[in-house]
Amino acid sequence: MKNFARATTLAAALLSASLITAPAHAQPATVAPPAAAPTAPAAATAEARKANIVIIGTGGTIAGAGASAINTAAYQSAVVPVDKIIASVPEISKVANVKGEQIFQIGSESFNNERLLKLAKRVSEVLKQPDVDGIVITHGTDTIEETAYFLNLTLKSDKPVVVVGSMRPGTALGADGALNLYDAVLVASNPASKGKGTLVVLNDEIHTGRDVTKSNTFKAETFRSQFGPLGYVVEGRSLFYRLPARPHTLQTEWDIDKIDKLPEVAVVYAYGNVNPASIDAAVKNGAKAIVYAATGNGSVGDYMVEPLKAARAKGVQIVRASRTGSGVVVRNAEQPDDKYDWIVTDDQLPQKARILMALALTRTNDPKALQQVFWKY
Ligand code: ASP
């Protein structure tokens, strides 16, 4: 990768006299909305330095194109190269020095452990470069929540990492990718984003990678966090109102540089008439743990208890989760977890529990320690 162009001068700062074009480092480090009409932030009048941001492209709808402008939900994802996406948002160059790097060109539904590890290791490598202030990852929205959570748990840096996507391709009426990308660069450039773990920015909101989840198949307003977003991006300013409460990045026990393989963890989805054979299939497939996305508060149908106990007897960890999408699964409530040696997810969605369980299993196979991991992270 070439060095960043150090283009920022006093002239550039003066040019950036509006909030929209203010240099990224001129963003307020704390939450301080302007009391009166917006004026240039104080730092914009000094020799503000634009942040150096690497944008790593992985594909998704933000790199998508449709046949016509009305194709907001039917289009081809992962076709536009990241450099072209960056070039289509010239406003970005006013707030940061950016460099694109294409690692994949895939729909995010095609992420697997191998690709996840490859991306995370590359992110870690780029973060170590002293002239890099932050990273933005363009990503499909389907599994953005899994990638962001994985990075949140495994990166050993406090530099901002922001994962961004879009719900509509750039060719569509009401395309959301350009603003989302601009906002993501703003957030990655803001010193206030340091030390907050991996963030996800879409639809004017900043979410923690831990909690965020996609909740609608086509609407621009699809990302939500059970406990609310951490903040907003508005008029070229990123504003934080909350902090992540659970440990992340530098505070965790996992370092992506030391992880080369993830153990197999299966998610089995519960429904009326769920087939017990799905548990056996996961075990035969080499699952070291099964996240059972159960109904309600992790309830297990009477005909599913024995198959799950049998899997546990073979050494497979059983994790009770909920398919409801929010709330916590209470230990020893719907099932006697102590007696069966099972684990509960706390508030983790099944797909997030899979990530956490896979990481936890790289360090221990003790169900008591694994339960503590769910309560901690
Ligand atoms: N299937 C696409 C993906 O996740 C959807 C999107 O990006 O919005 O890559």
CA of 212 to the centre of ligand 1 (A): 15
Co-location of 314 and 190 in the same domain: no
Backbone angles phi, psi at 137, to 5 degrees: -115, 120
CA distances from 227 to 37, 189, 207, 211, 323 (A): 31, 25, 10, 8, 17
Query: Does any domain span residue 26?
Result: yes
In whole angstroms, what is the distance from residue 162 CA to residue 55 CA? 9
**pTM > 0.95:** no
Co-location of 47 and 168 in the same domain: yes
* Confidence at residue 27, expressed as pLDDT on a 0 to 100 scale: 55
* Confidence at residue 184, expressed as pLDDT on a 0 to 100 scale: 98
Query: Does any domain span residue 2?
Result: no
Co-location of 225 and 343 in the same domain: no
Co-location of 278 and 230 in the same domain: no
CA of 29 to the centre of ligand 1 (A): 32
Co-location of 136 and 175 in the same domain: yes
Q: What residues form DSSP beta bridges with 289? A: 265, 317
61 is catalytic: yes
Co-location of 296 and 187 in the same domain: no
Q: What angle separates helix 367-376 from helix 350-361, to the nearest 10 degrees?
A: 130
CA of 80 to the centre of ligand 1 (A): 13
CA distances from 338 to 311, 344, 373 (A): 16, 10, 16
CA of 62 to the centre of ligand 1 (A): 8
Co-location of 188 and 282 in the same domain: no
Query: Does any domain span residue 221?
Result: yes
Query: Does any domain span residue 5?
Result: no
Query: Does any domain span residue 71?
Result: yes
Count of structural domains within the chain: 2
Co-location of 95 and 155 in the same domain: yes
> Ligand 1: which of 58, 104, 139, 141 to mutate, judged by most atoms within 8 Å of the beta carbon?
141
Query: Does any domain span residue 4?
Result: no
> Ligand 1: which of 58, 76, 77, 222 to mutate, judged by most atoms within 8 Å of the beta carbon?
77
Asked which of 251, 286, 313 is the last residue of a domain, the reply is: 251
* Confidence at residue 6, expressed as pLDDT on a 0 to 100 scale: 43
Asked which of 251, 275, 291 is the last residue of a domain, the reply is: 251
CA distances from 275 to 90, 280, 322 (A): 53, 10, 17
Query: Domain range spanning residue 176?
Result: 10-251
- State which ligand 1 atom lies nearest to the alpha carbon of 59: 9
- The residue count for the chain: 377
Instruction: Indicate which CATH number applies to the domain containing 300.
Output: 3.40.50.40
pLDDT of the chain, 377 residues: tens digit per residue: 445 644 333 333 333 333 333 444 455 544 444 444 444 444 444 447 899 999 999 999 999 999 999 999 999 999 999 999 999 999 999 999 999 999 999 999 999 999 999 999 999 999 999 999 999 999 999 999 999 999 999 999 999 999 999 999 999 999 999 999 999 999 999 999 999 999 999 999 999 999 999 999 999 999 999 999 999 999 999 999 999 999 999 999 999 999 999 999 999 999 999 999 999 999 999 999 999 999 999 999 999 999 999 999 999 999 999 999 999 999 999 999 999 999 999 999 999 999 999 999 999 999 999 999 999 99
| Nearest Cα residue to atom 3 of ligand 1 | 140
Asked which of 188, 221, 251 is the last residue of a domain, the reply is: 251
Report yes or no: 161 and 198 within 8 Å, Cβ to Cβ: yes
Q: What residues form DSSP beta bridges with 318? A: 290
Q: What are 100's two structure tokens?
A: 């694109």
Query: Does any domain span residue 258?
Result: no
Co-location of 194 and 172 in the same domain: yes
Co-location of 131 and 41 in the same domain: yes
- State which ligand 1 atom lies nearest to the alpha carbon of 142: 4
Active-site residue, selected from the candidate residues 8, 58, 61, 143:
61
Instruction: Indicate which CATH number applies to the domain containing 86.
Output: 3.40.50.1170
- How many CB atoms sit inside 10 A of residue 194's CB? 13
Distant-in-sequence, close-in-space partners of 63: CB < 8 Å, separation ≥ 6: 57, 77, 78, 79, 80, 81, 82, 85, 105, 138
In whole angstroms, what is the distance from residue 255 CA to residue 136 CA? 20
Q: What is the DSSP letter of 50?
A: P
Query: Does any domain span residue 3?
Result: no
- State which ligand 1 atom lies nearest to the alpha carbon of 61: 7
Alpha helices in 255-295 (DSSP H): 277-284
Distant-in-sequence, close-in-space partners of 337: CB < 8 Å, separation ≥ 6: 320, 331, 343, 344
- State which ligand 1 atom lies nearest to the alpha carbon of 64: 7
CA of 117 to the centre of ligand 1 (A): 19
> Ligand 1: which of 80, 108, 176, 222 to mutate, judged by most atoms within 8 Å of the beta carbon?
108
Ligand 1: list residues with CB < 6 Å.
Answer: 60-61, 77, 107-109, 140-142, 165, 167
Co-location of 223 and 365 in the same domain: no
| Nearest Cα residue to atom 7 of ligand 1 | 140
Co-location of 161 and 63 in the same domain: yes
